[in-house]
């Protein structure tokens, strides 16, 4: 049993999470939760998806991106633009009128139909991240310098979206939109809500399967080699910049897909989803769950957001942010492997083998 958990523990845990989520509509029908909770869990699915993409680039490749909120928002805006045009019948919106526009802007026209909108959800972040990744990684920028650059680019994009108010509605963002299946609020639209929920769950399963497939192959080992010894990997003959650019683009596309899912449940998208603080929050999800595990990203995303959902009202409204911050600090200081690392070390690990492995590591360093 212990060997099974060592080998397949992450998959078993993920299957358990999926099973619980699959039973959400049943629990709703039984009166154990309300529609607001179902919609919130739908958002958590989106957060888990973006966390898995971030784990690929940070946990496995060692590239700490503090700007993934940009790609999350790009996917969200792309989906929101399509949904907004559906509500207006393809005509210009109220904020475009207010901004002085008389006809639908060219940048909005690709979002008149769903297939092209889905292509744009993937293409736009892929192009943006591809250009950024190519120049940054080719120049061998890494570490804290990359983190600073990712923050600066996110801030620049945030400022641009605010400035282009006639096209993006500035600080307010794109609001009052329905999901791709129509309204999901109210008893009459319960079927639409459940359909959206299950499709989102299916997307999360596919992203998890993709990530596990990649990290379980030679590609995943190369990512770990880049993380643990980039120069050594480079001198072994591998084009490190290409691998880093590819995983950065893939992570950005996954974040954009998550943003598109989020908008359907949230009913709006604003530049606040593009801020540096939002990007750092995503990093906290991965760190607390356990980076370099994929399942840790899922656990962290659900755990932190559920804590926020339950603590941000009532008696804890004044201190819940401090509690989350304290949890992050404790994890970084004492449980560097996060929740998953703690479980592996104390419940699934070989305590006798651990000191020997540590000794070998120290010898290698010397």
pLDDT digits (tens, 9 = 90+) for 126-156: 999 999 999 999 999 988 999 999 999 999 9
Buried b (16+ CB within 10 A) or exposed e, 328-361: beebeeebebbbbbbbbeeeeeeeeeeeeeeeee
| Per-residue pLDDT reduced to its tens digit, 281-295 | 999 999 999 999 999
For the chain, give the percent of residues with pLDDT over 70.
93
pLDDT, residue 314, reads 66
pLDDT, residue 349, reads 67
Does the pLDDT of residue 360 top 50, yes or no? no
Does the pLDDT of residue 37 top 50, yes or no? yes
| Per-residue pLDDT reduced to its tens digit, 194-244 | 999 999 999 999 999 999 999 999 999 999 999 999 999 999 899 999 999
Does the pLDDT of residue 2 top 80, yes or no? no
- Cβ-based neighbours of 316, under 8 Å, separated by 6 or more: 323
Assign 329 a pLDDT band (cuts: 50, 70, 90): confident
pLDDT, residue 366, reads 35
Torsion from C-alpha of 341, 344, 350, 351, nearest 10 degrees:
60
* All structural domains of the chain: 39-346 (1.10.3470)
Does the pLDDT of residue 263 top 70, yes or no? yes
pLDDT, residue 365, reads 39
Torsion from C-alpha of 101, 106, 107, 111, nearest 10 degrees:
100
pLDDT, residue 7, reads 75
Q: For 37, how many CA atoms within 13 A lie in the half-sphere containing its CB?
A: 13
Q: For residue 179, list its beta bridge partners.
A: 182
The first and second tokens of residue 345, run together, are 């070390």
Assign 310 a pLDDT band (cuts: 50, 70, 90): confident
pLDDT, residue 356, reads 37
Q: For 259, how many CA atoms within 13 A lie in the half-sphere containing its CB?
A: 35
The first and second tokens of residue 10, run together, are 């992450």
pLDDT, residue 330, reads 84
Judge contact between 136 and 146, C-beta under 8 A.
Answer: yes
| Per-residue pLDDT reduced to its tens digit, 56-91 | 999 999 999 999 999 999 999 999 999 999 999 999
What one-character DSSP code corresponds to residue 130? Answer: H
Assign 1 a pLDDT band (cuts: 50, 70, 90): low
Give the span between the Cα atoms of 114 and 112, in whole angstroms. Answer: 7
pLDDT, residue 361, reads 38
Judge contact between 64 and 50, C-beta under 8 A.
Answer: no
pLDDT, residue 188, reads 87
Judge contact between 25 and 194, C-beta under 8 A.
Answer: yes
Residue entry with tokens 């020997």: 356
Give the span between the Cα atoms of 246 and 253, in whole angstroms. Answer: 11
Does the pLDDT of residue 104 top 70, yes or no? yes
**Position with higher pLDDT, 4 vs 41:** 41
Stretch 112-123: mean pLDDT:
96
């Amino acid at each position: 049993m212990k060997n099974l958990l060592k080998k397949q523990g992450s998959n078993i845990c993920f299957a358990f999470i999926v099973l619980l989520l699959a039973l959400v509509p049943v629990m709703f029908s039984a009166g154990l939760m309300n529609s607001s909770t179902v919609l919130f869990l739908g958002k958590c699915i989106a957060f888990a998806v973006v966390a898995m993409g971030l784990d690929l680039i940070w946990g496995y490749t060692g590239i700490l991106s503090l700007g993934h909120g940009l790609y999350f928002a790009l996917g969200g805006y792309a989906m929101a633009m399509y949904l907004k045009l559906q509500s207006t019948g393809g005509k210009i919106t109220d904020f475009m009128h207010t901004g002085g526009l008389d006809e639908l802007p060219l940048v909005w026209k690709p979002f008149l139909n769903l297939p092209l909108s889905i292509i744009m959800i993937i293409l736009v972040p892929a192009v943006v991240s591809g250009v950024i990744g190519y120049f940054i990684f080719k120049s061998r920028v890494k570490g804290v310098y990359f983190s600073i650059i990712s923050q600066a680019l996110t801030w620049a994009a945030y400022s641009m979206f605010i400035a282009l108010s006639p096209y993006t509605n500035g600080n307010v963002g794109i609001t009052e939109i329905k999901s791709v299946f129509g309204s999901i609020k109210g008893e009459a639209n319960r079927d639409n809500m459940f359909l959206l929920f299950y499709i989102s769950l299916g997307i999360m399963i596919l992203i998890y399967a993709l990530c596990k497939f990649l990290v379980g192959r030679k590609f995943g080992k190369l990512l770990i080699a880049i993380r643990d010894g980039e120069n050594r990997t480079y001198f072994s003959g591998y084009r490190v910049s290409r691998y880093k650019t590819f995983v950065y683009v893939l992570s950005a596309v996954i974040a954009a897909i998550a943003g598109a899912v989020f908008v359907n449940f949230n009913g709006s998208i604003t530049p606040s989803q593009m801020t540096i603080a939002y990007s750092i929050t995503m990093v906290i999800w991965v760190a607390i769950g356990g980076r370099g595990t994929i399942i840790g990203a899922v656990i962290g995303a659900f755990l932190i957001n559920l804590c926020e959902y339950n603590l941000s009202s009532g008696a804890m409204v004044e201190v819940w942010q401090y509690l989350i911050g304290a949890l992050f600090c404790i994890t970084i200081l004492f449980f560097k492997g996060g929740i998953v690392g703690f479980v592996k070390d104390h419940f699934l690990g070989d305590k006798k083998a651990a000191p020997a492995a540590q000794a070998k590591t120290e010898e290698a360093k010397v």
